[in-house]
Structure 1
Amino acid sequence: MMEAILKRQQSDDKQTLGTLEVFDKGRKVFECKTLELDWQNNKRRESCIPVGVYNVVTRTSAKYGLHYHVTNVPARSFILIHHGNYNKDILGCILVGSAHIDINGDGYKDVTNSRNTLKKLLKASPNGFTLTIQ
């Protein structure tokens, strides 16, 4: 199984910015930016998930199409990696994009090009991966 590392780099009162790197047998095959909620003690629908190691599998839904499901998250369910641009698009999930830019002028950085970035991630790792969040 492929491996991915999410490095959380900056957090404020609303959100956490990071970088996701995906590796196949130790070789980096994909990299993108991430957007999560800030840490609120793993509170459902209000917090990013705890640092740790998780199994990530593909999933399909009417709302997000093909995306990822982060499994075995303590005290949480249906943590997804899906498309979206703003912190208001997140209820505990992880958004992916190509850059961190304040798109809507609210003073918080968003992720850009999210749908296309998710498609590229799914192409790079179509069967999911082991995710380490640092």
Structure 2
Amino acid sequence: MKAVITRKKFEKVQTLGELELYNNQNQLIYKCKTLELPWKNNQLRVSCIPEGIYQVNPRTSAKFKKHFHVVPTEPRSYILIHAGNYYTDIQGCILVGTAYSDINKDGYLDVVNSKVALNRLLGLAPKGFELIIKKG
């Protein structure tokens, strides 16, 4: 399986994008929204990761339950795809959701239905996938 995140809107505090998941026959099977930190030269805890090709593996932790782990991301580590709503919920990870809305009324769009989107991805790609991140 393969997924492509296209980063579409670059703001001071966050980056908005879209994730498309393709099956092994290269057919689009799922689409959702993404929320990442802005690009700040791959700095720890304040930047999204660079554009490129990664492997995404399923992972479970006490904090995030079932989610995905993006590798390799050296010199950074534990870049995850997990549930959350706001750019303040992440320190370099990727949030997914079904749509955008300014939930907390801070002037920035947040992802909504994040657990729904993440569970859908986990169900469709239980063994993980290759991830391509690019600028739109």
Q: TM-score, normalised by structure 2?
A: 0.96
What's 1:114 paired with? 114
- Secondary structure, counterpart of 1:30 in structure 2: strand
Deviation at 1:101, TM superposition (A): 1.1
User: What's the CA shift string for 1:48-78, capped at 9, x where partnerless?
Assistant: 0000000000000001111000011131100
Alignment of 1:16-27 (within 5 A): 16-24=15-23, 25-27=25-27
Unaligned runs of 5+ in 2: none
What's 1:85 paired with? 85
Alignment of 1:94-113 (within 5 A): 94-113=94-113
What's 2:48 paired with? 48
What's 1:131 paired with? 131
* Amino acid paired to 1:132: I
1: CA distance, partners of 2:117 / 2:62: 19
2:79 paired with 1:76: no
- Secondary structure, counterpart of 2:54 in structure 1: strand
2: CA distance, partners of 1:76 / 1:22: 25
1: CA distance, partners of 2:108 / 2:75: 28
Stretches of 4+ aligned residues off by more than 2 angstroms: none
2: CA distance, partners of 1:87 / 1:44: 15
What's 2:13 paired with? 14
2: CA distance, partners of 1:104 / 1:57: 31
Deviation at 1:116, TM superposition (A): 1.2
Unaligned runs of 5+ in 1: none
- Secondary structure, counterpart of 1:33 in structure 2: strand
1: CA distance, partners of 2:111 / 2:26: 26
Deviation at 1:100, TM superposition (A): 1.2
Give RMSD over aligned pairs: 0.6
2: CA distance, partners of 1:50 / 1:74: 11
Report percent identity of matched pairs: 53
2: CA distance, partners of 1:66 / 1:29: 21
